[in-house]
Structures are given as structure tokens and as C-alpha cells.
């Protein structure tokens, strides 16, 4: 069964929406189990429920495409290396936000083809907003029934404009700002999950976001496709490219999401 990229995008959008609605239902009721994973990060019964919904839908509709999820055991690279295309999902990005009841959590689904994200879908249930993109076809935001194309904010003067930094509510601001050039003026936009901060940059609400600490490839796959199509980039904080399904480890390095590419980001981010 061979689906076009356009058909696969629709499948991903539907799976993200249905899983997200179920997560929102659990969130509204406030009845869920909370667990701790081996790395001390939290996971809930809502994560597992969303994972089951997405895995079931993708396996039914695209049985020939393997699925990698944060909430399922990872196969060794020797088995994964044969995959030319696969689904990469994070059933709930922002589990801490879900638990803290901030509403800033999202469902992430990406399609990786030849080690590059070619589809990105991020559904924000509490915001009733779906962000999506496919390679070479632009990035979009659907809110209520309106769908519009989105792009990163264009600086009037790339070397002078105030830079809006998306900042995690649960991350040290000092650690971020000590890695930013003191020669620029910044404002901050507090936000929740990694993927939502990337979406805010894709739609021009913020310009840059630095993520310090452990994340997985599923945290950036969908975001990377959306931000690329909106005119931005996601790279490691050292400005190396992020990789997908090329290493035994599926952990990401520290990374940055960058808006307007006319800005000299290498002169602004002083990461060591």
C-alpha cells in the first residue's frame, strides 16, 4: 500500500487530532495515573492512551511504515537502519505541563524519510490549534475552522531588531541568557512544551528558543519540518545538523530553534 505524502499528512493530522481530543478529555477530568521513567522524567496514563490511539491508527492505515515512539522500547540501530521511512511520534510533548495544568502540551507526529523530517504535525489540544507541514509545501496553522500559511517573523533590520526569546517556564533563564550575546536586546515569551515554542517561532510570535537538557529525536522531528517550511531552522546548539535514525542513541544534543535566517545567529548564540 503506497500513500502519497499528501495522504500521509492527512493520516497524521487525523491521528494527532483524535489522540489530542482524548488527552484533553483526560486533562479536563483530571483523572490519570502518574509514573516515573528510568531517567526520572514523568509519564502518565494519558501519554500511554495517546500512544495507543496513534500507534493503532498508523498501523491500521500504514501497515508498511514502522513507528518509533517515545513511549515504546527502541529497537537497536542495526534493525532501524533498514528503514527508509518511518513515523516518529511523541504522544504528549510537555507531560510536565499536562501535570502542572498549564495547558501547554501537544501531540507530535513526524514522518522521517531518508533520515530527514518530511511531514510534521503538532496538535495543541488546549489551544484548539493544529500546526502542520510537509516538505516543499509550506507550513500551516489551523485554528477553529480557519487554516492559514505561517512564516517566521522577518526582522526589519536583522542586526538591530529586538529578539523575542521563547523561554520554558521550567528552565533556568540564566542558563539561556548566559549563552546569548549581550550586544542585543531581548524580550521573553514564556511557553510550555518544546514543540509549541517551535510553533510560536514558525508563526512569528518569537524568534529563537534554546533547549538545554535531554530530549529525544521525537521532540524535534515534527517541529523541524514545520520550522523549515516556515523559513527557520532547528540545529544543535553548536550549529551542527540534527540527525535522525543514524545513531544507537536517539537522544538529541542541546538544540536551538531559529527564526529569520538573515539574522547572524552564530554571532548571537555563544554556546560552549
pLDDT digits (tens, 9 = 90+) for 26-76: 999 999 999 998 887 899 999 999 999 999 999 999 999 999 999 999 999
Q: What CATH number is given to the structural domain containing 77? A: 3.30.540.10
Specify whether 38 is located in the same domain as 86: yes
Domain membership flag for residue 168: yes
Specify whether 26 is located in the same domain as 120: yes
Q: How many whole angstroms separate alpha carbon 234 and alpha carbon 261?
A: 11
Using only C-alpha atoms, what is the Rg of the chain? 18
Residue with cell 511520534: 89
What is the chain's mean pLDDT, rounded?
Answer: 95
Specify whether 25 is located in the same domain as 120: yes
Q: What CATH number is given to the structural domain containing 177? A: 3.40.190.80
pLDDT digits (tens, 9 = 90+) for 109-135: 999 999 999 999 999 999 999 999 999
- Residues 53/22, Cβ–Cβ less than 8 Å: yes
Domain membership flag for residue 242: yes
Specify the pTM: 0.97
DSSP state of 148: E
Specify whether 116 is located in the same domain as 204: no
Q: How many whole angstroms separate alpha carbon 95 and alpha carbon 85?
A: 27
* Cα–Cα distance list, 155 to 124, 207, 262 (Å): 27, 9, 8
Structural domains in the chain (count):
2
DSSP string, 60-106: HH-TTS-EEETTSPPPPHHHHTT-SEEEEEEEEE-HHHHHHT-S--E
Specify whether 142 is located in the same domain as 209: no
What pLDDT does 39 receive?
A: 80
DSSP state of 180: B
Last residue of a domain, one of 125, 150, 175: 150
Residue 175 CB-density burial (10 A; 0-12 exposed, 13-18 middle, 19+ buried): exposed
> Sign of dihedral through CA atoms 100, 106, 111, 114?
negative
What pLDDT does 183 receive?
A: 92
Domain membership flag for residue 157: no
Specify whether 136 is located in the same domain as 214: no
Specify whether 120 is located in the same domain as 173: no
Domain membership flag for residue 156: no
What pLDDT does 75 receive?
A: 94
Q: Which three cell numbers stand for residue 208?
A: 529563537
**Average pLDDT of the segment spanning 138-152:** 96
Last residue of a domain, one of 121, 150, 179: 150
Instruction: Report the percentage of the chain scoring pLDDT > 90.
Output: 89
Q: Which three cell numbers stand for residue 57?
A: 491508527
Specify whether 9 is located in the same domain as 133: yes
Q: What is the distance in angstroms between the CA of the first residue and the CA of the last residue of the chain? A: 47
Specify whether 186 is located in the same domain as 243: yes
Specify whether 80 is located in the same domain as 137: yes
pLDDT digits (tens, 9 = 90+) for 161-178: 999 999 987 777 888 889
Domain membership flag for residue 82: yes
Specify whether 13 is located in the same domain as 114: yes
Determine the structural domain holding residue 98 and report its residue range: 5-150
What pLDDT does 68 receive?
A: 97
Domain membership flag for residue 158: no
Specify whether 80 is located in the same domain as 169: no
Last residue of a domain, one of 126, 150, 174: 150
Cα–Cα nearest to 134, from 4, 269, 265: 4
Amino acid at each position: 500500500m503506497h500513500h502519497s505524502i499528501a495522504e500521509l499528512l492527512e493520516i497524521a493530522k487525523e491521528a494527532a487530532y483524535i489522540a489530542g481530543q482524548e488527552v484533553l478529555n483526560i486533562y479536563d477530568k483530571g483523572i490519570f495515573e502518574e509514573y516515573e521513567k528510568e531517567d526520572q522524567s514523568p509519564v502518565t496514563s494519558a501519554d500511554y492512551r495517546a500512544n495507543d490511539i496513534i500507534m493503532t491508527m498508523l498501523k491500521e492505515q500504514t501497515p508498511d511504515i514502522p513507528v518509533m515512539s517515545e513511549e515504546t522500547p527502541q529497537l537497536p540501530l542495526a534493525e532501524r537502519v533498514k528503514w527508509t521511512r518511518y513515523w516518529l511520534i511523541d504522544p504528549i510533548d510537555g507531560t510536565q505541563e499536562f501535570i502542572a495544568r498549564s495547558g501547554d502540551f501537544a501531540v507530535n507526529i513526524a514522518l522521517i524519510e531518508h533520515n530527514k523530517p518530511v511531514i510534521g504535525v503538532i496538535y495543541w489540544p488546549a489551544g484548539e490549534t493544529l500546526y502542520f507541514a510537509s516538505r516543499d509545501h509550506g507550513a500551516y496553522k489551523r485554528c477553529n475552522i480557519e487554516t492559514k500559511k505561517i512564516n517566521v517573523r522577518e526582522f526589519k533590520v536583522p542586526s538591530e531588531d529586538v529578539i523575542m526569546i521563547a523561554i520554558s517556564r521550567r528552565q533556568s533563564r540564566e542558563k539561556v541568557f548566559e549563552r546569548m550575546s549581550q550586544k542585543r536586546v531581548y524580550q521573553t515569551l514564556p511557553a510550555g512544551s518544546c514543540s509549541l515554542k517551535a510553533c510560536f517561532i514558525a508563526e512569528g510570535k518569537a524568534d529563537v528558543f534554546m533547549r538545554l537538557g535531554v530530549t529525544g529525536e521525537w521532540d524535534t522531528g515534527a517541529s523541524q519540518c514545520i520550522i523549515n517550511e516556515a523559513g527557520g531552522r532547528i540545529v544543535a546548539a553548536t550549529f551542527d545538523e540534527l540527525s535522525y535514525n543514524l545513531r544507537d542513541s536517539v537522544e538529541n544534543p542541546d538544540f536551538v530553534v531559529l527564526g529569520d535566517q538573515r539574522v547572524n545567529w552564530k554571532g548571537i548564540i555563544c554556546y560552549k
